[in-house]
Amino acid sequence: MSKTGPYALVDNVFVLMLENHSFDNIFALSGIPGITAATASDSNSYNGTPYFVGSPAPPSMPTDPGHEFADVVEQLCGQGATHTPWQAYNTPINNSGFVANYATTTTEITSNNPGLPTSGEYGDVMLCFDTPTQLPVIYQLATTFALCDQWHSSIPGPTWPNRFFVHGASSAGWADSPSSAQIGLWEAPLGGGFVYPSGSSIYGKLTANGQQWRLYADESGPVLGGVPQVSALKGIVWKLDTNDVSSLASDLQGPYPYAYTFIEPNYGDVLGGSYVGGSSQHPMDSVTGGEALIKTTYEAIRNSPLWDRSLLIITYDEHGGFYDSVAPVAATPPNDGSPQDLSINSGGFLFDVYGVRVPAVIVSPLIPAGVVDHTLYDHASVSATLQGLFGLTPMTQRDTGANNVLSLLSLSTPRTDCPTVLNNPATAAVARAAVAAPPPDTPFPESGNAQGFLQILAKTDAALTRGDPAETAAIQARLAAIKTVGEAQAYGDEVAAKVSLARAARKAPPAPPSRPSR
């Protein structure tokens, strides 16, 4: 397909997806003019006490605010609200239950996330960052390029289904975080991986259309925190099909034939449940690591030969339980044959409404400075943007109707005033105390992010066996035997060592031919 207008100037799309913050939590009190956002008069009440929007936000949270499907029903529709399975989403949505939910619910209870906040912490989910001071990196990009104030997560629920949406405009019917039982549904046989009902992810669409793609993950933090969620997809193997983001800047200096690049953060201490030490900006970790990753990513692209023809989207998978003032509106379901299955969609969600707003900053030298965009987007807008650029066909009805970001590329020639170096991340005003690793005999959680990452480890391990039945059976037995965090950590370390050797062997130059004997 031939490209015309400003779109013809874009050859490379980059997406960096971080974790668990609402639009208001990051930008409401940023002082950026023209945004639709909460003000200091917005509040939630719990037990007769009002909790108002304010600033600054704490640099990290003491417990993980709820963000499973049932949590978000209560956050959006009020204390005690529930959803009737396989019925239209609850109305009215009044965004009144965020504090009540935080006071009574947490997403994952582990040794490092022991449960509920204290009464003095209930209002923390209403607090917003002093963005220029606390988040100077993303603030600089938001004011230098375009800030979208109507980008929603794709479902009112957790990380995993929302991240599946960015790769395939569907979650294949999933609306829950993974459990050990549920994961078997996408891992049959072991090593198979997550498959979309449409038969293809955005990566398959690009390949079929003759475009190349590339995946990066931040491997600088905890080893298992560097396992990217995208490697749950069938055909993508951790470390063999994903790359360390530390090589991004040097990679972009050479030939770089990849039309699409997706970048994941380091998720920190995923097994212990504290998420500390990562770059995802998970609520229980500091925001500093994510700010550093944004800076690294932007500067790698900005100082490369690709800059003038590049587009960078920075967004967040879901809201993480933080307050947002805008009610999500009706959404088009994927209608891709996804099953109606309570074992993976315990709320019986019909995918008929968007999730809570999340931050999204769009970066390109073809975008004027200071743009605030009020267009409705969700994570399917990523695939819609690639379709608009490269002539791909949609995967589901969600991305068929999704808006793309190409109208933001309004300049006919690239700007020459874009910064080559961004602000440094702020040092957290209150550093979080070091979190001890959980005792090795801590029971391994039956559901949540740790289960998802454990299954990716097993999928990776199985890929290294090249389908050997005996080795695959041994992996299944090992997986079934993991009952503690220590056992999961030991298995993860083993798989990481094996796949790192396989990666090194793949990248090693071929051995020179042996010299014939005389």
Alpha-carbon distance of 357 to 328, in angstroms, equals: 7
**Does residue 305 have a cis peptide bond before it, meaning omega lies within 30 degrees of 0?**
no
- How many other CB atoms are there within 10 angstroms of residue 470's CB atom? 8
In the chain, the amino acid numbered 105 is T
Per-block average pLDDT, block size 10, for the chain (518 residues)?
A: 69 98 99 98 98 96 93 97 95 96 78 76 98 98 99 98 98 87 59 89 97 97 93 95 98 97 96 90 95 98 98 98 98 95 94 99 98 99 98 97 98 97 80 59 82 91 87 90 92 95 84 51
Q: What is the pLDDT at residue 126? A: 99
Alpha-carbon distance of 3 to 9, in angstroms, equals: 8
Alpha-carbon distance of 388 to 260, in angstroms, equals: 13
Q: Give one word for 458, left, alpha or beta, with left for phi > 0 and alpha for psi -120 to 50.
A: alpha
Top CATH class, 17-39+131-408:
alpha beta
Question: 3-class DSSP state for residue 226?
Answer: helix
Q: What is the pTM of this model?
A: 0.95
Q: What is the pLDDT at residue 7? A: 72
Angstrom distances, CA of residue 396 to CA of 1, 182, 335, 385: 21, 23, 7, 14
Q: Select from 410, 421, 403 the least CA-distant residue to 296.
A: 421
Q: What is the pLDDT at residue 113? A: 58
Domains of the chain by residue range: 17-39+131-408
Pairing state between β 146-148 and 212-217: unpaired
* Cross-strand bridge partners of residue 50: 45
User: What value does the CA radius of gyration of the chain take, rounded to a whole number of Å?
Assistant: 22
Query: Looking at residue 9, what DSSP letter applies?
Result: G
